[in-house]
Amino acid sequence: MAETHPPHPTHPIPAPEQADESQTLYVRTDRTLDQELHIESHAPYLKVWAGLAILTAIEYFYAHIFKDQLFTLILGLLFWALIKASMVGWYFMHLKFEGRWVYFMLVPAGILAMILTLALVPDLAMQPVTEENPEEETVFSAPLEPGAASPALPT
């Protein structure tokens, strides 16, 4: 048989400028202050963790499907990484509680990060192609018989 508990003890707190009884607020008094402050829900974090795990599996299979198409592979993996980074920032770094001012910090920082990364392209990708040893133009081969390539030295 299931136990029935009495309702939580409550005390009325009058609302400011109370007009009638329907506007009376009630507060729970069955918890201590420590218990009230300690109440926390981990459900959103577990859902985000599960979402990140699913997105990681999607990335894995996406990489196997498009392994021969480099541009599509890189573009898709960057897309999935952006979604995952947004989820981490939004939930674990608590950016959802920030105001619009945080975008004035994040957007310029992102633009500068792209500029600094793209500034390396001339140094890395646009170098002239050079041979390893340009002074060696001939290929030497060993003779089949010892001493056949050069005359015998006088003794």
Tell me if 18 is assigned to some domain. Answer: no
pLDDT-derived band of residue 9, with 50, 70 and 90 as boundaries? low
Tell me if 38 is assigned to some domain. Answer: no
At 86, which amino acid appears? Answer: S
Domain encompassing residue 118: 43-122
Tell me if 66 is assigned to some domain. Answer: yes
The pLDDT of residue 50 is 93
This prediction has a pTM of 0.44
The neighbouring-strand residues paired with 26 are: 12
Tell me if 94 is assigned to some domain. Answer: yes
Residues 6 or more apart whose CB falls under 8 angstroms from that of 18 comprise: 24
At 101-150, the pLDDT tens digits run 777 888 899 899 999 988 988 887 777 767 666 666 666 666 667 665 55
Number of structural domains, the chain?
Answer: 1
At 9, which amino acid appears? Answer: P
At 52-78, the pLDDT tens digits run 999 999 999 999 999 999 999 999 999
